[in-house]
Amino acid sequence: MQEFLQLVVSGLAAGGIFASLALALVLIYNAMGLVNFAQGEMAMFATFIAYALISRGMSFWIAFPVTLVLAFGGGIAIQRIVIRPVERAPVLTLVIITLGLATLVNGVAGFLFGYVPRPFESPFSSDTVGVLGVFISYRDLGVIGVSGVVLLLVYLLLQHTTVGLTMRAAAHHPEASRLLGVHVSWMLALGWGLAAAVGAVSGIMVAPVLLLEPNMMQAIIIYAFAAAVLGGIESPLGAVVGGLIVGVTVNLAGVYVPFVGGDLQLAVGLAIIVAVLIIRPNGLFGRASVRRV
């Protein structure tokens, strides 16, 4: 039982990381009906920026927000320069552009920083604390706490500010929003910026666990897809719940399902994607979509 609870808690920590990246995917999906395959690579690149800042002597807790601001600006720049000219293109074109963007960001990171995995110092101690007989590492608690705060901030921004309201309106009803004076194109750019910043959180949180290198996020993005699909790809809340479920499930499956072990955990993520798409394509929180043909 104790082992089980410990696995659940460390699964929640992993889930917080998946949830952040999944939320980034959902933000862009909502804004333009597009899965951004470059989201993981953008997060990886932001993590390298944080690494560069920290290795030049900046403290983690300053480098972290600075990186998020830079990632936000980078996300806006990508939308303005790469996405906006093809905004009205068919979705397949956009998908291929994000795939190209992923390769490009990966290559640039490799060129600038090299492919040698680097240790990324966690800001949290690896000591553990006993709570009701369960030993939890400060590291897991820290990751859960940081992800929780970031997700809460995004929620408050979207649900309780005027900017958030206009972003949601622009995403769902661009034509009607324009008639109400909403600058729809800028709202899409804001969505990209926000997604880049939230994704960067997942990169920075996962780097101490995985070692930092250009391919670091390639497994994480699969889990994030699983989380987003499980939650219903349109639902921010669904992304968070989906992330936590995927984190815990993968962790438990690695220990309790004999043949999964450490090697097949990624396959569990893929299995979740396939199972959700077959059994409940709209996910846990998605609305059934009706499309007239």
Partner 1 sequence: MTALLELEGVHAGYGPTSVLHGVSLTVPEGGAVSLLGANGAGKTTTLRAITGGVHWSGDIRFGGRSLRRMHTEDIVSRGIAHVPEGRGICTELTVDENLRLGAHMRRDGAELRKDYDRVFAYFPVLKERRHLSASTLSGGEQQMLALARALLMKPRLMLLDEPSLGLAPMVVRAIFEIIRTINRESKVAVLLVEQSARIALDLSSHAYVLEVGRVAVEGDSDELKGNESVRRSYLGY
Note the residues at the interface with partner 1 (CB under 8 A): 162, 165-166, 168-169, 172-173, 175-184
Cα 119 to Cα 41, 155, 208, 288, distances in angstroms: 18, 32, 7, 44
Shortest distance in whole angstroms from residue 188 CB to partner 1:
13
For residues 41 and 62, give the distance between their C-alpha atoms in angstroms, rounded to a whole number: 23
For 186-201, letters b (16+ CB in 10 Å) and e give ebbbbbbbbbbbbbbb
Shortest distance in whole angstroms from residue 287 CB to partner 1:
9
Shortest distance in whole angstroms from residue 142 CB to partner 1:
35
Q: Which is nearer to partner 1, 167 or 220 (CB)?
A: 167
Q: Which is nearer to partner 1, 213 or 234 (CB)?
A: 234
Using CB atoms within 10 A of its CB, is residue 161 exposed (0-12), middle (13-18) or buried (19+)?
exposed
Q: Which is nearer to partner 1, 118 or 173 (CB)?
A: 173
Residue 123: how many other CB atoms lie within 10 Å? 17
Shortest distance in whole angstroms from residue 230 CB to partner 1:
21
Q: Which is nearer to partner 1, 95 or 284 (CB)?
A: 284
For residues 56 and 60, give the distance between their C-alpha atoms in angstroms, rounded to a whole number: 11
Coil, helix or strand at residue 248: helix
Angle among Cα 245, 223, 10 to the nearest 5 degrees reads 50
Shortest distance in whole angstroms from residue 290 CB to partner 1:
12
Q: Which is nearer to partner 1, 152 or 176 (CB)?
A: 176
Residue type, 273: I
